[in-house]
Each structure stands twice: as structure tokens, then as C-alpha cells.
Amino acid sequence: MVLASSLLAGKVALITGGAAGIGRATARLFATHGAAVAIVDVSPERGPEVVRQIQAEGGRAVFLRCDVADAVQAEATVESAVAQLGGLHILFNNAGITCRRSVVETPVADWDRVVAVNLRGVFLMSKFAIPHLARAGGGTIVNTGSGWGLKGGKDAAVYCATKGAVVNLTRAMALDHAAQHIRVNCICPGDTDTALLAEEGRQLGVEAGAFLREAAARPMQRVGTPEEIAEAVLFLASDQSSFVTGTTLVVDGGGLAG
């Protein structure tokens, strides 16, 4: 593999939701910058494929199947990543799901599941990863928020609630762990060309082309790509942002600017 740089040389990164979309793009980007990558996902098919892609390019990667909302699985996954890759320096809490309904329309089971994955998952993976980051002398955590973690969105009550919580949880974690040399930041993507975006359109019953045109209605007149979001995650995860903690980086083509 030809390294893009040695920006993450010697680092081990754990990426949840790493089998598709932003997680997959970030895993592959991290590998090109020298990191060994633990790809964590619930998908037993897509995860190993990402590992094969990274290994074919000369990188180091393992796949760990995990439901991040399950405390036993989350702890075992962190321990397995450390054992297989020799440590842990970067955690990217990226796993997430959505439910496009109002509070009244949201089934209780759907509310609970979105909260479990989007918020409890960040808590659990961080809880079990932070001691390892501290033992390594410090590290970085990047949480995936959303533009809708900073403003409201129609028919997305539980998604907005969880992403708003992730944004503020990021700030609290940054304060709690700065003395351990652990930086914690949040990436807030706008609409990005992923399966999650397509799932939103399906839930709303909107034709795919029309939904994408609506999502592109922002100053840059397009949705983002997973690779563009991954570049921003790389900035927050690496020493390029060595004096940045507790912040939220919006990557949305200007959607929240006006």
C-alpha cells in the first residue's frame, strides 16, 4: 500500500458503523494514513468486505461484529480490538440509525432503539475505550452528530433528540478527559450520499430522485460524499487538530449557514 501520509502511523482506530457509508470511507482513509483499523458493525457481510479491501491495499484491519447498544458486546469488542491490534488510540463513534416520524407517530420500540444505537452506543463504546486511550498516553474520540443535532428537523423527533444529546455529550466528555490527554470532538454532517439517506426517503415515502433533489437544496447545491466527511473526521482524529477539543465541526455544504 502506498501511504497517503504517515499521519496516523502506529495508531489503532476503532470505527463503529464501519461497514458502510461514512464509516467505511473513514476506515479506508485511516488505513491509507497508516492506522490499523477495527471495523465494528452489525453486518456480517459488509464488514469483512471492507477488511479485505484494506488488506488488499496493504493495510491492517479486523472486523468485529457488535451491537453497540449492548454493554456486554461493546466491552468485549473494545477488548478484542486492543488484543488483536495491540492498543487503541482513536475511537470514531459513527454507528447510527434514523426514524423519520413525529413524537406522536413514533412507536415506543422505535424510539428506544434509535436512542440505544445513537446515544447509548456512544456512551458504551466510550466508557470501555477511554481507559485504553488513557493507558496509551492519550488519544482522540470523534462522535458523529448531525446538522439536526444543532437545529430542529421536521418528522425526525428521536433522531434530532439523540444527535443533540451527542453534541452536548461530546462537550462533557472533552471536559472530563482533557487531563488524560484525550480530545473529544463531534462531526456534524449534512445530507450525505449513504444508505441512511436513502432509508430516510423510503421512510417518508418520497421518490428517491425527488428526495435527493430536496436534500441538495443548500448553497453548494449537492449532497456530500462519504469521502468528504471522512476527510473532516481525519482532521479531528489526527494531530492536525491537536488544540481542538469539545468542538463541533459542521460539514454540510453550507446548509446551516443561512
CA 132 to chain CA centroid, nearest Å: 19
What is residue 57's DSSP assignment? T
Sign of the torsion angle spanned by Cα atoms 40, 42, 43, 48: positive
85 classed as catalytic: no
Query: One of 159, 160, 226, 238 is an active-site residue; which one?
Result: 159
CA-CA distances (angstroms) from residue 192 to 21, 50, 89, 119, 255?
A: 9, 19, 27, 20, 12
What is the distance between the alpha carbons of residues 77 and 59, in angstroms, rounded to a whole number?
20
CA-CA distances (angstroms) from residue 232 to 27, 134, 156, 180?
A: 13, 24, 25, 24
Q: Which residues are catalytic?
A: 159
